[in-house]
Amino acid sequence: MKNFEFANPVKIIFGKGSIKKIADEISAGSKVLMTYGGGSIKRNGVYDQTVEVLKGFEFYEFGGIEPNPHYETCMKAVKLIKEKGIDFVLAVGGGSVIDATKFIVAAACYGDGDPWEILSEEAAVKKALPFGSILTISATGSEMNAGAVITRAETKDKLAFGSPFTYPKFSVLDPTVTYSLPPKQIGNGVVDAFVHVIEQYLTYSEEDTLMQDFFSESILKVLVLEGPKALEKPTDYDIRANLMWASTWALNGWIACGAAEDWATHMIGHEITAFYGLDHAQTLAIVLPGVMTVLKEQKSKKIARLGKEVFGIEGLHAVERTIQAVEDFFEKMGVKTHLSGYGLGAEVADKVSNRLKERGWILGECNNITPEIVKEILLLRV
């Protein structure tokens, strides 16, 4: 096991009817900005519940945060924060709204520099406004980590940052607010969480991380068992609760402690989203089977273990059958796993590998996935 240092201070407020509890979590007298996305929270009742609780505070709203949130949008919220003297932000939404809010609270305290530096130059975040979240989509795990991914629309740069100052103070996880999500969002969320675990688990496995491996397999098993059921029974509380909790754990940092991490699938996927606008999970479903196939030798022990523990696969061609099982699972969740499913083709391979070459990025836990190998991976996924 590698040495590590880690803390995760996020307070989780879990269960049906929990939104009202946020009143106790925000300091009295705070000026609150509520951030949200495209307005689905106005249709499913979450907006009304939140506004009801915020009545005790001076509060403002900032809606319209898009999926794969834009730097340009975030900076509008920063302006509002400065104008109104906001001192607490409440993100109400899925990963995009929470990610955007992390950047907003950091940028609002960045001082005189250009906050874009936080993303482009990994400039240190030295403080941030406090914020909390009300989660409406189980997927990214952003509700219990300090990381965010932001896109600059102008340049199609999709970049990540994280800081100890950008953990939510609290996150409300009420499974009932996910009941009204369309099947596409359920599928995307399960695929996203699945691949988060894989990035921290499916590595060359030189490290002995027995506990972390069992934990990762625990999360994957919940996703594989409960994901398809959620498509069938979207309003079953326990199914949605198990999925919500599993998605949070997929990326709250604990399973990565002491372990090697990959993240190649995400890095490649981000470029596909930036160029072609595919949903984040769609790109992961395309890329992961390719990464597993091309890196089969390096990752063989863990792929075999994944097959046995999560999919019950053993014996002849276990590695190949496990890769197929992953692809089949994504398809079962309604997420297509080939570029052609989205009207794309071999051109993606060139475009993405060229962009990675420009950036000088080599990917993967062994730092051996060159732009040429990325091209090979994507050509397998046409």
Q: What b/e sequence results for 138-170 when a residue is b if at least 16 CB atoms lie within 10 Å of its CB, and e otherwise? A: bbbbbbbbbbbbbbbeeeebbbebbbebbbbbb
CA distance 6 to 23: 29
The nearest distance, CB 379 to a copy of itself, in angstroms, is 37
Residue 42 in the binding site for a copy of itself (CB under 8 A):
no
Q: Smallest distance from the beta carbon of 252 to a copy of itself, in angstroms?
A: 10
Complex with a copy of itself: residue 68 or 242, whichever CB lies closer: 242
Amino acid identity, position 323: I
- Decide if residue 126 touches a copy of itself (CB under 8 A): no
Each residue 156-185 as x (binds a copy of itself by CB under 8 A) or -, in order, gives --------------x---------------
Stretch that binds a copy of itself, among 15-23, 27-35, 123-131, 186-194 (CB under 8 A): 15-23
What are the CA-CA distances from residue 321 to residues 60, 141, 279 (Å)?
52, 29, 26
Residues 339, 345 contacting (CB under 8 angstroms): yes
Nearest Cα to 310, choosing from 240, 203, 215, 210? Answer: 215
Cβ 282 vs Cβ 29: under 8 Å: no
Put residue 360 in one of left, alpha, beta given phi > 0 → left and psi -120 to 50 → alpha: left
For residue 11, the minimal CB distance to a copy of itself (Å) is 4
Nearer to a copy of itself, 177 or 222 (CB): 222
Kindly tell me which of 10 and 98 has the beta carbon lying closer to a copy of itself: 10
Site residues for a copy of itself, window 341-380 (CB under 8 A)? none
Helix crossing, 318-332 with 183-201: angle to 10°? 150
> Does residue 208 belong to the site contacting a copy of itself (CB under 8 A)?
yes
CA dihedral 62, 68, 72, 76 (to 10 degrees): 10
Q: Is the dihedral of CA 348, 327, 235, 238 positive or negative?
A: negative
Q: Which of 250, 187, 196, 240 is nearest to 218 (CA)?
A: 250
Residue 267 sits in the site that holds a copy of itself (CB under 8 A): no
Q: Cα 134 to the chain's mean position, in Å?
A: 15
Of the pair 25, 331, the CB lying nearest a copy of itself is at 25
Which CB, 3 or 367, lies closer to a copy of itself? 3
Could you tell me which stretch among 195-203, 204-212, 358-366, 367-375 binds a copy of itself (CB under 8 A)? 204-212
Count of Cβ atoms closer than 10 Å to residue 313 Cβ: 19
210 in contact with a copy of itself (CB under 8 A):
yes
10 Å CB burial of residue 366 (0-12, 13-18, 19+) is: middle
Q: Which stretch binds a copy of itself (CB under 8 A): 13-21, 35-43, 102-110, 148-156?
A: 13-21
Interacting residues of 183 by C-beta distance below 8 A, sequence separation 6+? 231, 234, 334
> Minimum distance from CB of 21 to a copy of itself (Å)?
7
Q: What does the alpha-carbon distance between residue 297 and residue 4 come to, in Å, rounded to a whole number?
A: 27
> For a copy of itself, which is the closer residue by CB, 214 or 350?
214
For residue 9, state whether it binds a copy of itself (rule: CB under 8 A).
Answer: yes
* Three-class secondary structure of residue 312 per DSSP: coil
Residues in 224-253 that interact with a copy of itself by CB under 8 A: 225-226, 238, 241-242, 245-246, 249
Closest separation in Å from C-beta 146 to a copy of itself: 13
Q: Which listed residue (214, 233, 340, 345) binds a copy of itself by CB under 8 A?
A: 214
Please count the residues of this chain forming the interface with a copy of itself, following the rule CB under 8 A.
Answer: 40
Whole-number minimum distance, CB 202 to a copy of itself, in Å?
17
Q: Does 6 bind a copy of itself (CB under 8 A)?
A: yes
Indicate which single residue of 118, 134, 177, 257 sits in contact with a copy of itself (rule: CB under 8 A). 257
Interface with a copy of itself by CB under 8 A: which residues? 1-18, 21, 170, 208, 210-211, 214-215, 217-219, 221-222, 225-226, 238, 241-242, 245-246, 249, 257-258
